[in-house]
Structure 1
């Protein structure tokens, strides 16, 4: 792992650890480097403006100050192209428009040389991505309902085309065999249901808050499924 990549990974590790932080010894073991190297990396992060704190003595360690902003992320050309390819290939994915906009923001703040190399490399990656099959209006409403934890009212077409109106408490998005689904508690059926996004004809976010239904109620995910946070 290059040092720039390790510094980014180190920042993310400290961010995930939160207020409890981590010892230099533990960080060194995780990254396969010496304690001295980790301490140099922490000093380098602090020099760039990262809100690194240190606490001496037993139970001490290193962490990031809560609520503080982090310095800009530095990407290699290959990492930038990987983000571009992922965003381009996932037109039907939830939050796809936001992902594409976020990637463009990242590319815009790269140093000119890295951005030029990324653009050259991007020309060597082709993605056969069909246009989104789901209405952008529908997608936006469902995304907002999931984000704000509000009930979404949908007009949904069954497999034979019969439409019904449902009030759904969003629980999660899932991708199965190339199609994206909204999985949530259907108040009409009083049960957990899967709704294919491209069969939702209309959607509007209501003011009603979702209940306390959890991902565990959906059932066991396929062996190959995993959350997008990795």
Structure 2
């Protein structure tokens, strides 16, 4: 990790630890550098105006001053491009349009130099994204899950059988490059996986779903995990 990226990451790590702070030793382990290097980086952040406090002794550490005017988000150009690539490469991912809008907001508030570097780097990252499913279909499925309401779909199975069925949505899942809606199928009276590209139409009904849970779906595939678990301090 380059020093500029490490300074960004250090700031975000301190922000996440809040009032309890974080020890130099822990930061050194996290970034695979020496404690001396961490302290040198923290001193550089202080000189740049980052409001860092320090607490000596056992249980001490470093943190960000409460009520400081530090911007809510800081990104390196590489981090910005990582976000751009993630949303561009996954057009079928749930709430992708919202993710694109969020990334645009972030890029609007980063400093002009970082934004320019991100745009230059982004031009050298190509993605081969699959053709997206119908925007109207995806919007309906996203709304149904977010609002916990029943969705009526016209669905064609892999065997070519087309049916209209009501689904109580439970979660979205990605598997082997494909996106699925998992929910209680009232037609089959069972939990089913529905490939998004096989949903021809989707209409959100006024009826709320009856309360089927993620636990009923079972354990995720071995290579899968909830996006809430995707969190890094780097």
Q: Which structure 1 residue ranges, 5 or more long, are not aligned? A: none
- 1:177 deviation in Å? 3.3
CA distance in 2 between partners of 1:21 and 1:130 (Å): 44
Give the TM-score normalised by the residue count of structure 2.
0.73
CA distance in 1 between partners of 2:209 and 2:57 (Å): 46
Moved over 6 A (4+): 46-51, 65-69
CA distance in 1 between partners of 2:15 and 2:205 (Å): 33
Query: How many pairs are equivalent?
Result: 225
- Structure-2 residue corresponding to 1:219: 218
CA distance in 1 between partners of 2:69 and 2:207 (Å): 32
Query: Does the aligned pair in 2 maintain the 1:14–1:64 contact within 8 Å?
Result: yes
Higher relative contact order (CA 8 A, sep 6+): 2
- 1:132 deviation in Å? 1.3
- Structure-2 residue corresponding to 1:118: 118
Give the TM-score normalised by the residue count of structure 1.
0.74
- 1:20 deviation in Å? 5.2
Q: Which structure 2 residue ranges, 5 or more long, are not aligned? A: none
CA distance in 2 between partners of 1:104 and 1:20 (Å): 32
- CA RMSD in angstroms comes to 3.6
- Structure-2 residue corresponding to 1:157: 155
Q: Does 1:95 align with 2:110?
A: no
Q: Does 1:196 align with 2:198?
A: no
Alignment of 1:165-204 (within 5 A): 165-170=165-170, 172-187=171-186, 189-200=188-199, 201-204=201-204
CA distance in 2 between partners of 1:49 and 1:209 (Å): 51
- 1:39 deviation in Å? 4.2
